[in-house]
Structure 1
Amino acid sequence: MAKYFVVPFLSLIVGLISAAWMTWNNTADIGLVLQMVLTVALLCVLEISLSFDNAVVNATVLKRMDAVWKRRFLTWGIAIAVFGMRFIFPLAIVSIIAHVSLYESLVMSLSKPEEYAQMMLDAHLAVSAFGGAFLLMVFLNYFFSEDKEVHWIGFFEKPAAKMSAFQSIELIIAIGVLMGIYASLPTEDGMTFLVSYLWGIMTYLIVHGISGVLEGGHLSHIKFFSSGFGLFLYLEVLDASFSFDGVVGAFAISNQLVIIMIGLGVGAFFVRGITLYLVEKETLNQFKFLEHGAFYALGVLALFMLLDTFFHFPEWVTALTGACILGTSILWSIYENRKGAAQ
């Protein structure tokens, strides 16, 4: 097990040293150095706790990829996760809101961290609507699937599998959720939510469609466009959607962009390690309801993100809820395994 977490622990050590060195170099204050080190550790724990269900969902997709694309996801994917989502994404958000370049956004994050952090928090509605819509579609697509044979919560999952014959049932439910929330919002917030939510659905449909085309072998004559590329693309967007809430929420803990990138980036390394462990140890086969639990946790995360419009759920609530669902699915799997062995 240790081999899966060698790189994550090395990244943690490097991250803590980097945060301490930068803070000391700028302030020469040992108190601030300790504060930044603790902040990095807290952000790392936040990322892991919010993204454990992400690791399980990633594992369900990763096990279908060939060795080449699996390796690319664990190398290219981590670069995108750390530098793309934890650094470029916050810069892009402020760049769009303030109508400035990415460079000017970077300068603002360094020279006016309080103002920068507030702009990130102000963008929470649009970010949550986009990420919530995408994750909601992923949740609905999993449970409204005729191919799903193993059921955990039968009174919901069995009817849902049968309803999959109703074409576009997932999209109908997602649009229904949109209409319900939009009708309850003031005009300005409603339009922001509407546009972002629709972009979330459109992104899911595009990525899911591309993945389906590639898995069907329609572009197999083009070497790069294998089914693995479609799954890679799907995983990256899924990974990004999981990260939205954590990235924006991190600005409530610290207004230092570099510190946030280090803390969440280290957490992303640990999530990758957990994903690889789950795939190679075939943990999903040992705990047959763990996959179900991860998608239920994903659905709850989507719900929290969408309801954030009315009430902000603290990150610890989101993390604890997901952990409870996953823990219950593991215990239930153990119970079923023992019952099967006894029979």
Structure 2
Amino acid sequence: MILRTFGWSFGVTAAGLLIALFYGGPTGLALVAVLAVLEISLSFDNAVVNAKVLDRMSPFWQKIFLTVGIAIAVFGMRLVFPLLIVGITAKLNPYEAFDLALNDSDKYHHLMEDAYPMIAAFGGMFLLMLFLDFVFEERANKWLPWLERPLARIGKLDQLAVVVAGGSLAFVAWLAADDPGNVMISGVLGMVTYILVNGLGELFSGAGEDEDEEEGEGREGAAVRSGPSSLALATGKAGFFLFLYLEVLDASFSFDGVIGAFAISTDPIVIALGLGIGAMYIRSLTVFLVRKGTLHEYVYLEHGAHWAIGALAVCMLVSIGHHVPEWITGGLGAGLIIAAFVSSVVRNRGEGADSSGAPSGDDAEKPLEPSSSKIQ
């Protein structure tokens, strides 16, 4: 199971470290290893959320996510995206931006830092919308009932997530941004991207489920997932938009890691190698969580991951005006997920020790319901 799931990650790690050794010697090897660990620690919550979405995708789209998706994640977001940002900011063509990265890393780093407020606004608003949509929705299981109950209650107000996110963006742009106009535009684009991709995925996923009900569950290509929610696996357009959603989500998570990597190295090749290795492990971990059914067994992991996303979104918005150390964002995310995992273990042991089999706590409020059709 481990080798089958993490085999490609092990192979990419070996190849990446060898390339780093030949490219930068022992120093390059050490930097790539540190960057890989940094990426994994910052993006573990990404794997948990990815697994929730991947569990709804057909085997075909799961394979696309693990092949085409990893190419986009490694080469697109970790290598090409920084070059595009620098090129747009400095009005350079891709070749000139790449030449600048190799031959004048200090200027390249400075240009990336100048563009960071817009990047943070886009990624921060995308992640904040994801977090708010989660906490404003009524759920059968509640990890923090004293907080999640009132949030779900006020979440009945239509479009509250948009109101809160938009107000937060306006406040941060006014208070902390050197260029409020560009920050506002970038943040609004992040919100629009989330609403569009989430809405399209929801639309086509719902249409696919309706077709499955009409045509029968036994038809080939319209497989139905067994499990608590028994939702039809997303195929066709629904699968495509879930895939697109995962790629945008991964991009939003990677913004902070790409910028933070410059604190360790300014060499774009070293950064791409280190973050690329880390991205491979996040992909493999996502598949592992799906195949092991971890999110069904440890029900609060999803909650912890979304609260970690909320913390990351806040850190990204704060970083528009003030630097937030990577150990804070990584530590918050890891701490929330570990706490959610421990809570899940305690809950499972409590249920196992209950000889009567009667539900207790929040689980007694209502029977388990299928998860929301929103892409979360």
Give me the whole-angstrom Cα distance separating, in 2, the residues matched to 1:189 and 1:9. Answer: 43
2:190 to 200, 203, 228: 200
TM-score, normalization by structure 1? 0.92
Where does structure 1 lack aligned partners over 5 or more consecutive residues? 24-32
Looking at structure 2, the residues matched to 163 and 18 of structure 1 have their Cα atoms a distance apart, in angstroms, of 53
Partner amino acid for 1:48? Answer: I
Aligned twin of 1:18: 19
Instruction: Say if 2:143 is the partner of 1:169.
Output: no
**Which of these residues, 101, 112, 132, is aligned with residue 104 of structure 2?**
112
Whether the 8 Å CA contact 2:129–2:191 is kept in 1: the answer is yes
Q: Compute the displacement of 1:170 (Å).
A: 0.4
Shift of 1:309: 2.2
Q: Do structure 1's residue 227 and structure 2's residue 238 form an aligned pair?
A: yes
The percentage of counterpart residues that share the same residue type is 43
Q: CA deviation at 1:199?
A: 1.1
Q: Deviations over 1:277-301 (max 9, x none)?
A: 0000001111110110000001000
Q: CA deviation at 1:161?
A: 2.2
The letter for the 2-side match of 1:42 is: V
Aligned with 2:74: secondary structure? helix
SS in 2 for 1:295: helix
SS in structure 2 of the partner of residue 165 of structure 1: coil
Amino acid at match of 1:150: N
Q: Is the 8 A contact 1:219 1:225 kept in 2?
A: no
Q: In the aligned structure 1, how far is the partner of 2:79 from the partner of 2:113?
A: 15
CA deviation profile, 1:77-133 (whole Å, cap 9, x unmatched): 100000110011001100110011112111111221221122112221111111000
Mapped pair 1:70 → 2:67? no
Q: Whose helix proportion is higher, 1 or 2? A: 1
Q: Which residue of 1 aligns with 2:231?
A: none
Deviates more, 1:197-206 or 1:82-91: 197-206
Q: Which moved more, 1:110-119 or 1:168-177?
A: 110-119
Match of 2:205 in 1: 215
Q: d(CA) in 1 for partners of 2:19 and 2:79?
A: 16
Offset, 1:225: 4.3
Query: Structure 1: how far apart are the matches of 2:91 and 2:210?
Result: 41
Structure-2 separation of matches of 1:157 and 1:65: 28
Per-residue deviation, residues 168-195 of structure 1 (Å, max 9, x unmatched): 0100110111122123136x42223211
Residue in structure 2 matching 1:144, options 133, 136, 139: 136
Match of 2:288 among 261, 277, 285: 277
Residue 165 of structure 1, CA deviation: 2.4
Equivalences for residues 1-343 of structure 1 within 5 A:
1-3=1-3, 4-23=5-24, 33-146=25-138, 148-185=139-176, 188-217=178-207, 225-343=236-354
If the length of structure 2 is used for normalisation, what is the TM-score?
0.85
Deviation at 1:219, TM superposition (A): 12
Q: Is the 8 A contact 2:208 2:238 kept in 1?
A: no
1:229-276: CA deviation from partner (whole Å, max 9, x where unpaired): 111111110010000000111112111101110000000011111111
How far the C-alpha of 1:220 sits from its partner, in A, is 9.8
State how far apart, in whole Å, the 2-side matches of 1:293 and 1:94 are. 34
SS at match of 2:264: coil
1:130/1:198 contact within 8 Å kept: yes
Q: Is the partner of 1:123 in helix, strand or coil?
A: helix
**CA distance in 2: counterparts of 1:150 and 1:219, whole angstroms:** 24
Question: Which sits farther off after the overlay, 3-12 or 157-166?
Answer: 157-166
On the 8 A contact 1:134/1:204 being kept in 2, the answer is yes
Q: d(CA) in 2 for partners of 1:255 and 1:310?
A: 22
Equivalent AA in structure 2 for residue 304 of structure 1 = C
Amino acid in structure 1 at the alignment position of 2:54: L
The amino acid of 2:123's aligned partner reads: G
Q: CA 1:183–1:115 in structure 2 vs 1: closer, same or farther (change >3 Å)?
A: closer
Is the CA contact (8 Å cut-off) linking 2:123 and 2:255 kept in structure 1? yes
Residue identity matched to 1:180: F
> 1:214, 1:229 within 8 Å by CA — same for their partners in 2?
no
Letter in 2 for 1:71: K
* Aligned length, in residue pairs: 331
- The AA in structure 2 aligned to 1:226 is K
CA distance in 1: counterparts of 2:120 and 2:61, whole angstroms:
29
Judge conservation of contact 2:65–2:243 (CA < 8 Å) in 1.
yes
How many Å separate the matches in 1 of 2:320 and 2:79? 25
How far residue 226 of structure 1 moved from its aligned partner, in angstroms, is 2.4
